[in-house]
Amino acid sequence: MRAVGFASAHVLEAATLPILALSLWAVALADGAARPVLWLASTAVFCALLALRLAADCSFPAAPAHMALPPGLRILIAIGAAFLAGLGLQLVPLPPPLAALAPLPLELPATARPVSLTPSATALGILRGAGALALFCLVAQLACCPRAARRLAWLIVLGVAGHALLALAALQMPGEGVLWSANSAYPGFATGGFVNRNAFAAHMGLGMNLALALALADARRRPPEALLLVSLAGAMLAALAASGSRMGLVSSLVGAGVVLFFARPRRSLARRRGAQHPLRVALPGVLALGLVAFLAGRALPDRLLATPAALEERLLLWRQSLRLISERPWTGFGWDGFAAAFELYHRPELSPARVWDFPHATYLTLWCEAGLIWGSLPLLAGLLAGARLVAGLGGAAAPANPMAVAALAALVQAALHAAADFSFEIDANLLLLLALIALGLGRAEARRCGALARKECDDG
């Protein structure tokens, strides 16, 4: 019986990686998991897989050591769980004496009502968040094994690069940039499997910077792999530029700068190995930039010139969103309830012909829907994750961990992009971002205190 249990644990371990990779590919290709049936299916897969792995770890402690949660990540997981628990409180009806905590611009009977204006949407949002947290835990577990972490990183790169090539091919087809339907919103721009070009650009940027981090780490040990990775990064950069997303391009290039800064050779290593990376790794990058300039044509420059007009409308939206925060600074209006709340405070100077589902700034979304205190918990988790990554990359004794470099670049990219858009509120991008952060932190934890994991797995 014990032998069967060990065999089952190893089968579960072997199945986790391809299931995660396939899930991340599928949600990105299928409208960015914007449809409820898609994110519900991915949530069920992630939660069931995590429950099975934790059960196996409790029943067979001697099974693969990297099935346990890394100790250093428990504070981040606890913050995520606390955030979801706080959102759950928005579903609890407030008695009339506490109704002043959740005011409305309407005269309503003095009856108990929940904080959330859309309780059903809030409940579904909590469920979706539980799936994202489960994915983070699963990838953090896998990342404790160097071989599994590297394989998952490669599968992510291949998936995003394949998505980029499909999107570029779709530009030459009647759909004009969308894989599965007509591109009515952004004709002539690449959006791939996404509905929104900015979300597609953010996805491409995450994959591109992961490929760059892996390429720079492999430049000397595995030159052919490094050449392939840089070529794939060039394809993702070309698709990003073809999307015409201004903030997507800027934030992704800033992320690439983070990769180049932290992945550079340390001084002590540079004296032993030489300060420059091989020319054959740098040359494809130069060629890729030329390809981007060719593909972008006039579309992206024209959009950059139109930035001031777009910014004026965006500032109006942000100003009216700030009014929502001032009305309910502590409770918010309920998770996934911005659209319903904004209708109550919408002023005519902002076009009434459009439906404003998002404030086009993730920070404002968090504070409008969850309040200033609870809505800042994800930001706190991001700051803690970034601090741990920077601390792990600060040493000069060994080459930089490419997973940690890519995770830090993803955090910086998301932090910048989230200031002016909602792309990282799209499930496919949120899941990929969490997967990259978990890969980076999991590998850092394994290096810091995981000699046990290295006994189980050979470094890939």
What does the pLDDT read at residue 273?
47
**Average pLDDT of adjacent 10-residue blocks, the chain of 460 residues:** 53 83 89 73 91 75 56 88 95 78 64 84 94 94 87 95 90 62 67 88 95 84 83 88 88 92 61 47 54 53 58 85 91 91 85 81 95 95 93 67 94 96 93 95 71 47
Compute CA distances 401 → 200, 210, 228, whole Å.
27, 12, 19
Any bridge partners for residue 178, and if so which?
192
Structure token pair of residue 141 = 């577990």
Residues 6+ apart with CB under 8 A from 65: 144, 452, 453, 455, 456
Output the DSSP codes for 131-146: HHHHHHHHHHHHHTSH
pTM of the entire structure? Answer: 0.88
What does the pLDDT read at residue 270?
46
What does the pLDDT read at residue 279?
43
For the chain, state the CA radius of gyration. 23
What does the pLDDT read at residue 387?
93
Residue-wise over 47-75: b if at least 16 C-beta within 10 A, else e?
Answer: bebbebbbebbeebeebbbbbbbbebbee
